[in-house]
Amino acid sequence: MPKSRLFDDSLYQFDEPQPSWWEASIDGNRENIGCELNADVACDVAIIGGGYTGLSAAYHLAKDFQVDVHVYEAGHIGWGASGRNGGFCCMGGTKLETRELIKKFGLEETRKYYSAQMEAVDLVRTIADDEAIDFEAQGDCEWVVAEKPSHFKALEEECEFKVTKLGLPSRMVSKEAFAEIGYDAPHQHGAFAEAPGFGLHPLKYCLGLAQAAERHGAHLHPHSEITSWEKQDDLHVMRTARGNTIRSKRVIVAGNGFMPEHLHTSLRSRALPLQSQIIVTRVLSDDEIAAHNWVTQSPAVNSRNVYFYYRTLPSKRFLIGGRADFKGTELGAKVTAETLRQSMVQLWPEWQNVSIEYAWRGFVCFTADFRPAVGRMEDDPSVYFGFGYHGNGVNNATWIGRELARWLATGNDSKNPIPTHLPTIVHGMTSKIPFGSLRPYYAKAGVGWHRFKDWIDGV
């Protein structure tokens, strides 16, 4: 373990699964996936990180290109964000507004980006269909629910823009109609339905993807943290915490918010991990669901700057998530869980007496440029990376994992530039964040500013 992590050590306990609803509802099929590395090994491609990025890359490398690929994961498969997220398989991946994307990258590239986002949502469903993964899909869009009438107007403009300029199949739903087909509550003033999108059981998806990758010939090694990495001639030589050695021709770094930046200088201060936390209630009674006329199966977010994301689950539990504290301590997690509960009963007052049964947290990954990063190290074209999905990794990590696999498998590293079909928005390493150890403070300041704007706005 590196001497100092960015956040509290409690966030890097690879031997401990999160106390999440997802872990409690997977029917115990996790432990027979892959095996801890217990011998020295040589392979064509070594992947660091057993979440969606690493597993999708491994799945596609093994299935489509018969590449000898090994995935190394410090915890169990899906220990990171991929096993503990909110299960929104929806559009996103960048924190730049659509208009900012157009200004910076042009209309054509922005269109390309959005069409890749749609393709990425479809890709998740296609993998599930092809590999018979039952991940409990729910709904057909992501609702952005207006918290005030003025927010509805702003969402209407955004919707119009996305439909006419970018060709998205999105639509607006009035307050009255949303009360019928979505839910009813004092803070809903209509909604923007961003499509395509749906909800899923994130850990079931992750484990299903892992099993599919194994079936196609990928080797998975949970509980095998990479602790050192050097280059010897043309080979990457990595060691695990247990002391085994891996020799590989190429490496894919798939660490996202848990980026092992101590392993390679080029990775330092590129990722900005931010904590997100989720709580899940006990099973709601039919009367409690009816009290807010909760009809929709689709996941939702509300329209404030520092928003909450929420959905009802097939088990009739309610899930709500939001931004957590900036140190990452266990005490901070307890405080955040209570704050989330209070926000829940403020937004859905009929649920005053609904208790919370699960609370957990993890890192989403921002970047200095507020866009995902896909590329190869400038000083070593045999090292590939994909990260920075800004809280939208279910579709993005799956898609980028596949794109990394295709790129890596179809060319000679140094003569094979990033494929031109990928939108320029995701091209290459993102800017280095100055004074990297201050990242939690930058995040605190940024989120604090947005919270202040929400407060001025009265939400």
Binding site for ligand FAD (CB under 6 A): 14, 48-54, 72-75, 79-82, 84-88, 225-226, 254-258, 260, 276, 278, 321, 361-364, 387, 389, 391-394, 397
Q: What is the identity of the amino acid at 285?
A: S
Least distance between ligand FAD and beta carbon 301 (Å): 9
Residue whose C-alpha is closest to residue 308's, from 70, 86, 62: 86
Task: Work out how close the CB of 185 gets to ligand FAD at its nearest, in angstroms, rounded to a whole number.
Answer: 21
State the CB neighbour count (10 A cutoff) for residue 315: 13
Smallest distance, Å, CB 188 to ligand FAD? Answer: 20
In the bound state with ligand FAD, the residue whose beta carbon lies nearer, of 278 and 422, is 278
Q: 102 or 313, CB closer to ligand FAD?
A: 313
Rounded CA-CA distance 332/336 in Å is: 6
Using CA atoms, how far residue 54 sits from 5, 130, 245, 287, 399, in Å, is 22, 19, 20, 43, 11
Nearer to ligand FAD, 190 or 255 (CB): 255
Contact 300, 143 (CB under 8 A): yes
Residues in the chain, total: 459
Closest separation in Å from C-beta 100 to ligand FAD:
21
Looking only at the bridges linking them, the beta strands covering 41-48 and 245-253 are parallel
**Distant-in-sequence, close-in-space partners of 46: CB < 8 Å, separation ≥ 6:** 69, 70, 72, 236, 238, 246, 248, 250, 251, 252
Smallest distance from the beta carbon of 58 to ligand FAD, in angstroms?
A: 11
Pick 175 or 260: Cβ nearer ligand FAD: 260
Output the smallest distance, CB 175 to ligand FAD, in A.
Answer: 25
Nearer to ligand FAD by Cβ, of 55 and 102: the residue is 55
**Minimum distance from CB of 216 to ligand FAD (Å)?**
18
Q: Least separation, in Å, of the C-beta of 295 and ligand FAD? A: 21
Q: DSSP string covering 160-210, please? A: HHHHHHH----EEE-HHHHHHHT---TT---EEEESS-EE--HHHHHHHHH
Q: Could you say which DSSP state residue 57 is in?
A: H
Position of minimal CB gap to ligand FAD: 393
Nearer Cβ to ligand FAD, position 102 or 121? 121
- State the Cα–Cα distance between residues 275 and 257, nearest whole angstrom: 9
Closer of 137 and 397 to ligand FAD (Cβ): 397
CA–CA separation, 119 and 67 (whole Å):
24
Q: Which is nearer to ligand FAD, 17 or 87 (CB)?
A: 87
Q: How far is the CB of 363 from ligand FAD (least distance, A)?
A: 5
| C-beta separation of 197 from 91 below 8 A | yes
Residue closer to ligand FAD (CB basis): 394 or 443: 394
Residue whose pair of structure tokens reads 């704050």 in the numeric block: 339
Let me know: does 280 contact 291? Beta carbons within 8 Å: no
Side chain identity at 80, as an amino acid letter?
A: G
